[in-house]
Structure 1
Amino acid sequence: MSHDDFEIEPVEGLPEKPPEGEQILWQGRPDWWRLSIEALSLKWVAGYFLLLAAWQFISVVDLMPLGRAIGAAVPFLLLGLVVCGLLIAVAYVQARATMYTVTDARVVMRIGAALTVTLNLPYTQVGNAMLDLRKGGTGTIALETLGETRLSYLVCWPHIRPWHMRQAQPALRCIPEAERVAHLLAEAAQARVSVPKVTRDLPARAVAAE
């Protein structure tokens, strides 16, 4: 299902060359800016520090000159800039280290900046796919796995559907042209799952002899 991937990739995003006949339909990475906002809550963090700075200013403006009151709020703004900068850096590194691949047989997710992990998700193990479309065409496609498949929420984060911890759902996070990719994935999955399995029908005598 998954394994640590430390080998040189013959095809970017894949631990080995696709089997003969398997076609790559799409490859892409998260949009790092949208990832910082949606997965790392950049706007909420920035708003929190702005609120702290405003609270500090309001608390002291009646007790000291205006210039000193503004100066008392500045450290909160500087700290907020540092924290937001770190979040943006993490989102950028995560996005650059990620490669999502959709083929006509499976979804492959090469994820992780410090520890690279490759998730291999055949369509026969995917029960449902949910599209969360956002402004500008970016969106997240979450994959609901079937059977006994169990994934670690922490290992997959942030490439995971938020708040679904008991049954973690891997997700193609904040990808451009998400609606088009979702259609590609849906058509490929439907075609793969509906392919009939051909088995040999033994003659009645052979069955009786066994």
Structure 2
Amino acid sequence: MSHDDFAVEPIEGLPEELPAGEEILWQGRPNWWSLTKESWGLKWLMGYFALFALWRFIVVLGVAPFGHALLSVLPFAVFAAATVAVLALISYVQARNTVYTITNRRVAMRIGAALTMTLNLPYQWVKNANLALLSGGHGTIALQTSGKTRMSYLMCWPHVRPWRMAHTEPALRCIPDAANVAQILAAAAETRVSEAPIITRVPDAVPAE
């Protein structure tokens, strides 16, 4: 009887041995802290908590001493810290269970913590790729695939380009040294399909704080 659920990967991040002629050019995984900030919108979330804490402080300050007003904000601070800790833990687990692989023939993405799956994207399926640089050299490479390729946004999240739900764009999220990885991907794709470079930089990408 087959026990595929317990099979060991012959190569980390890949469900089977590489075919003859295929070689790995790069492997990596998301930076967990960068993934926490980007996939969960951490800045907006902290802004939300800060706004309510400020409102609470001002209201209490109008009827109580400064010390009491300051203490009234403490529950917001504790809840905010707990929320960040939970989201960071989730992102850490996601990052640790993710392996992105670039070969001379395809991009493979082993994703998922509870339910693991591997996406195989031959370069012939990739129409375009967009590089969005973040702080510290991290960045995201989103792959725009051909119309014949359909993937579930929810199943692939957070390894997708945000808010592209009608046609999901799988993405190498928050990877270190993203600019260099983009060059490796571009060179491999050009060699494989003999087309123009597919890597373009998002013009309005804003570095994260």
> Given the two structures, how large is their TM-score scaled by the length of structure 2?
0.88
Deviations 1:50-89 (A, max 9, x none): 2211110101101012222122111111111111111111
Displacement of 1:5 after TM fit? Answer: 7.1
For residue 168 of structure 1, what is the aligned residue in structure 2? 168
Secondary structure, aligned partner of 2:173: strand
| Distance in structure 1 (CA, Å) of the matches to 2:178 and 2:139 | 5
Deviations 1:140-192 (A, max 9, x none): 00001113110000000000001100000000000011111111111111111
For residue 52 of structure 2, what is the aligned residue in structure 1? 52
Q: Which runs of at least 4 in structure 1 moved beyond 4 Å after TM superposition?
A: none
Correspondence list, 1:1-210, <5 A: 7-194=7-194
User: Is the alpha carbon distance of 1:5 and 1:128 closer, same or farther for their aligned partners in structure 2, counting shifts above 3 Å?
Assistant: farther
For residue 202 of structure 2, what is the aligned residue in structure 1? none
How many corresponding residue pairs? 192
For residue 207 of structure 2, what is the aligned residue in structure 1? none
Secondary structure, aligned partner of 1:183: helix
| Distance in structure 2 (CA, Å) of the matches to 1:138 and 1:6 | 33
Q: Give the gaps of 5 or more residues in structure 1.
A: 196-210
| Distance in structure 1 (CA, Å) of the matches to 2:5 and 2:25 | 22
Q: Which moved more, 1:46-55 or 1:100-109?
A: 46-55
Is the contact between residue 5 and residue 15 of structure 1 (CA under 8 Å) also seen in structure 2?
no
Q: Which moved more, 1:48-57 or 1:116-125?
A: 48-57
Secondary structure, aligned partner of 1:9: coil
Deviations 1:23-62 (A, max 9, x none): 1000000011111111111222122112211110101101
| Distance in structure 1 (CA, Å) of the matches to 2:89 and 2:71 | 28
Secondary structure, aligned partner of 2:27: strand
Calculate percent identity across the aligned residue pairs: 58
Q: Give the gaps of 5 or more residues in structure 2.
A: 196-209
| Distance in structure 1 (CA, Å) of the matches to 2:48 and 2:117 | 33
| Distance in structure 2 (CA, Å) of the matches to 1:34 and 1:107 | 22
Q: Which moved more, 1:128-137 or 1:106-115?
A: 128-137
| Distance in structure 1 (CA, Å) of the matches to 2:168 and 2:82 | 31
| Distance in structure 1 (CA, Å) of the matches to 2:73 and 2:80 | 11
| Distance in structure 2 (CA, Å) of the matches to 1:192 and 1:146 | 16
Secondary structure, aligned partner of 2:73: helix
